Every structure is written in C-alpha cells, then in structure tokens.
Chains A and B, each alone.
Chain A
Amino acid sequence: MCDQTFMAATFGPCDSCSKPSPLMNIYIKNEATNYCSLCVEMMACQGLQKGETLESLKRESETLKKKLEEERNKLNDVELHQVAEKVEVLSALSIKTRRVLKGHGNKVLCMDWCKDKRRMVSSSQDGKVIVWDAFTLNKEHGVPLPCTWVLACAYAPSGCAIACGGLDNKCSVIPLSLDKNENLAAKKKSVAMHTNYVSGCSFTNSDMQLLTSSGDGTCALWDVESGQLLQSFHGHTADVLSLDLAPSETGNTFVSGGCDMKANVWDMRSGQNIQSFESHESDINCVKYYPSGDAFASASDDATCRFYDLRADREVAVYQKDSIIFGASTCDFSLSGRLLFAGYNDYTINVWDVLKGTRATILFGHENRVSRVRVSPDGTALGSASWDSTLRVWA
C-alpha cells in the first residue's frame, strides 16, 4: 500500500525509528518532533479503540457536530435585541476628533494605550514604533526596527516596556527608559519566535509573560525574561489574526480569531481549546472581550461585526447594514460595553449600540483604512490608527 504523499520540509533520521527518510513535522504534547510517515501512522493507530476506523471517526464527528447545533439552538429562546427593547434608547453621542497625531511615514498598523491613560504606542509599515503622549502630542520615543510591517504592538501593564512584532516572525520587548538619548533599538530583546508573521501580541497581567498570535496558525505564551515557550495553542486551520485576553476578574482564558473564520476560546494553563464559534463568512480580523468577560465581539472581512455570548455558547447579535460593504478590521467596547466601536476599510468608524443592534453614529475623519481602534483604559477617549499614517484621539 503506498504512502499518501505529503509536503516534506526536512529529510533526516526519524526521531522514533532513526531511519533516514522524509520527515513530517508534528507536535506531540507541545513538543515539536520529526517522524517518518510510517511512525506517524503507527503512533496514530496505537491509541485506536477496537473497531475505530477513519469511517467511524468521521461518522462520530458528524453526529457530534449535529448534537452541538441542536444543543445550542435549544437555548436560543429569544434574541438579544428583543430583550434589549426595554433598555433606554441612546442619547445622541457627541464624539469628535480631539487630537491628530502625525509622524509616521507610512500606514499605521497598530496602536495600544498605556495604563496611565495618556501614553500610546503605535507601529507602522515603515518599521517605526513610536510612543506618544496623547495629551501634548509629544513623541516620547521612536524606535526604528529592521523589518517593515510591524503588525502588532502592545504596552506593558507597568508602562515600562513595549512589545512589537510583525513580518520578522518575532515579537520583541523593548524596555522604555526616561533618557531620551538612549538608543532603545539596541536594548530590544526577541522573545517570541514563530514560523510566520506575528499578527497580534499582548502582555498578560504582568510584564513577565507575553501572548502572541501568528500567521503560522498558532498562538503562544512566552516568558519574557528567558524567551521560553510556556504554552502553545493549536487548533486554528489558517492564519490567526487577532487575540484578546479575558478581563482579569474572569480568569485565565483568551480568545483568538483567524482566517479560518473561526473564533476560539482557550484555557491558558492547559492549552486546551474550550469553545469555538464559526458563523462569520470571511476572515476574522479582530476579536475583543466584553468588559464583563462573559462575551466577545469580532470584526470580519464579511463587513459584519458579531457578538458571541460565552455562557450561551452562541452568536447573539450581528452588527451589519446593507450600506456597509467594506470589511471591518478592528473593534473595541466602551467602558460599560454599551457601545462597540468598529473600524472599517471604507475609512469610517461605526459606533454600534451593542444591546439593540443598531448603529448609533459614524465617525468620519480618517483618509484611509482604519486599522485599529482602542478605547483608553479609563474610557474617556477612543484612539484610532489608520493607513493614512495618522492616529486620532476621539472624545
């Protein structure tokens, strides 16, 4: 019986039988190993129960999928916007651009607020990462990086460091110093190593651990000091584009979304995929937890944003309009969770009433795609980054 052909990136002695042959790169208990195809098949068959064949497994997965559908639908007794009819209608919002931060030479791809509610870090296609004081428009630090397309950046909880990564397949941490003349690029330390671009990064509750998502389809948790991989998260079948940590009161989980149109919720300690949501019709560009931690929103290329409740285990709202045909690339909640700010590729930011499902207002101002929106830690302002090479602060 001939072996199924597969794409082999390496050739050498198999980790199991030591015979030189084309090797498959697989993960056993989070360890990357290389087995020849015969050993892979043997290992797979070892754990099989009596009578378990590919056919029976396929059938079981179909029945399980149907059962999941039924269970979820049983609990869908009412729609969120119906329950929300008794909530007061939103009063008119007066949100305007209050600051325009110019200084990047090319598209701004990502931004994040510092916990001190006034500093922001932003990263751009030109390879620069800039730390701004949003009150005074001062540029406090500027770090040139050797790669272009710095897709992700994040501020450490202490405010003393930033993380950034992108097409260089790495995520690096840069400690910030008060000395303006210090060469920050020299103190840059590579923490995360992926085999494809880094699309998102976030510190956990401390400066010591960093969570990253990557185009290689995995997410990973790293120890900043040693650069060691603490946990990896496998389950997406395509590039992972975004991740968000659950708000601290609710524990050790995070949600990720990717090009496989799925949003997965993970347990950080075990690496287990706890829940999975597949209702988008195109790539999920951004995921963000609701402030209470019981739900999350996602923004997608299919021009919709969707709202998923974790305890009901299903989508509970879709934010869309016939007039919106461009993909949404980013989203964030206001402090109370009543408003969802979503940035679109048609250069606007739509503000949605989360409960009623209607659009509250549109924010115009950017002259190119909005790549990232983030509400400041105390909720007083919204920061947005755009391909028009500026950042705006709205309040």
Chain B
Amino acid sequence: NFSVDIFIELRELRVGLFHGSTLKPPPQNKQTKQPQHKQNKGTNPFLDPRGQSSSSIVQARRTVQQLRIEASIERIKVSKASSELMRYCGEHAKNDPLLMGIPASENPFKDKKPCTVL
C-alpha cells in the first residue's frame, strides 16, 4: 500500500530519538527469497503493541535511562577477559568429543566395526 509506506516513513523521520534508523536499503547479499515471516517485519504498525509512541519525550527519557544503566556497569580489560575464556577452553577441551574426536566404541553415532561371533 503506497500511501501507508509514505506515512510510515514520514512518521519515522518525525519521531526524534530513533537511533537514526530511517528505512535502510537491504545489504547487497540479501537473498531475494526471504522467509515469509521476515517480509512482514516493520510494515504493519497495527501489529505493534507498543504503538510506537510518538511522544518524543517518553522515548528520549527511556533512552537516557537505559544509557545511564549501561554506562554504570563495571567492566574488565579485554586481556583479562580473553585469558579467562582461554582458560575455560583449556580446562574443558579434553572432555569435548567433537574437538578431540572420540573412538567409535564410545560414540553411539559412529558405526562400530562389525564383529564376528565365533
């Protein structure tokens, strides 16, 4: 519906702090055969329970509150975080069947060698 699209575009431009998300063209590699549910996204405002409140002040306050929470969390250095991730991997690597490869006798999915009964 052509006129509904124009209306939505104008509304989105008007609503202040929407992270600058005006209608973007899809990236180059996007498949033309989208799964059916994704084609419906963002085009029918009647399905949006939040009503996309045009009250810019409500939106702005919410954004500021959210950013305040995010800015206040405690962070550690990437070097420390990385070494902890590595340590976890190292500790559990020997128990990881897909990583280490386990013999057919222990893996119910691998075919066992046929055995002959004498």
Residue in A closest to B26 when the chains form the complex, CB atoms: A282
Number of interface residues of B (CB under 8 A): 76
Minimal beta-carbon separation of B100 from chain A (angstroms): 8
| Chain A residue nearest to B111 in the complex (CB) | A98
Question: Which of B37, B52, B89 is in CB contact (< 8 Å) with A337?
Answer: B89
- B7, B99, B109: which contacts A395 (Cβ < 8 A)? B109
User: Residue-by-residue, is B53-84 near A (CB-CB < 8 Å gives 1, otherwise 0)?
Assistant: 11111101101101111110101111111111
Q: Contacts A99-B109, A199-B37 known; A336 to B81 CB distance under 8 Å? A: no
Q: Is there contact, CB below 8 Å, between B63 and A313?
A: no
A135's nearest neighbour on chain B, judged by CB, is: B108
- Interface flag for B29 (CB, 8 Å): yes
Q: Which one of B37, B61, B96 lies within 8 Å of A379 (CB-CB)?
A: B96
A325 and B28 alpha carbons, distance in the complex (Å) = 9
CB closest chain-A residue, reference B28: A325
Instruction: List residues of chain B with CB within 8 A of the CB of A291.
Output: 88, 92
A-contacting residues, B8-39, CB 8 Å: 8, 11, 14, 16-19, 21, 26-27, 29-31, 35-38
A44 and B101 in contact (CB under 8 A), knowing A78-B78, A237-B18? no
Q: Is the CB of A167 within 8 A of B17?
A: no
B85 at the interface (CB under 8 A from A): yes
Q: B29 near A83 (CB under 8 angstroms)?
A: no
Contact A274 B57 (CB under 8 A): no
- Tally of chain A residues near chain B (CB < 8 A): 109
Q: Is the CB of A93 within 8 A of B71?
A: no
A130-178 residues with Cβ-Cβ distance < 8 A to B are 134-135, 149, 151, 166-167
Contact A335 B92 (CB under 8 A): yes
Q: A133–B57 Cα gap in the complex (Å)?
A: 55
| A267 shortest CB reach to chain B, Å | 10
Q: Which residues of the other chain, A, contact B79 by a CB distance below 8 angstroms?
A: 77-78, 83
Q: Is A61's beta carbon under 8 Å from chain B? A: yes
A58 to B80, CA, bound (A): 35
**B118 at interface by CB-CB < 8 Å:** no
| Inter-chain contact B78/A7, CB cutoff 8 Å | no
B75 CB → nearest A CB, Å: 5
**A76 sits at the interface (CB 8 A):** yes
Q: Are B90 and A167 in contact (CB under 8 A)?
A: no
Inter-subunit contact A335/B78 (CB<8 Å): no
- Cβ A83 vs Cβ B82 within 8 A: yes
Contact in complex: A380, B108 (CB < 8 Å): yes
Contact check, A336 vs B99: say whether CB atoms are below 8 A apart: yes
Give chain A nearest CB distance to B42 CB in angstroms.
6
Partner of B96, one of A57, A67, A239, A338: A338
Chain A 12-36, CB-CB to B under 8 Å as 1, else 0, gives: 0000000000001111000010000
| Complex contact B98–A259 (CB within 8 A) | no
A6-B51, A290-B85 given as contacts; is B66 within 8 A of A338 (CB)? no
Complex contacts, B48 vs chain A, CB 8 Å: 195-196, 216-217
B37 touches A334 (CB 8 A): no
Find out whether the CB atom of A75 lies under 8 angstroms from the CB atom of B76.
yes
Beta-carbon contact of A380 and B109 below 8 Å: yes
Q: How far is the CA of A9 from the CA of B7 in the complex (A)?
A: 15
Contact of A32 among B7, B18, B49 (CB under 8 A): B49
Given the contacts A195-B49, A294-B84, A339-B98, A64 and B71 also touching, CB distance less than 8 Å: yes
The answer to whether A68 and B81 have CB atoms under 8 Å apart is no
Chain A residues in 8 Å Cβ range of B7: 7
Given contacts A54-B56, A60-B64, 4 further A-B contacts (CB under 8 A): A5-B11, A7-B51, A71-B71, A239-B38
Task: Give 22 A-B contacts (CB < 8 Å), ordered by A residue.
Answer: A4-B14, A6-B53, A7-B8, A7-B11, A40-B58, A58-B60, A65-B67, A93-B99, A195-B48, A196-B48, A215-B37, A237-B19, A260-B19, A282-B26, A291-B88, A294-B85, A311-B84, A312-B78, A335-B92, A336-B95, A337-B88, A393-B109
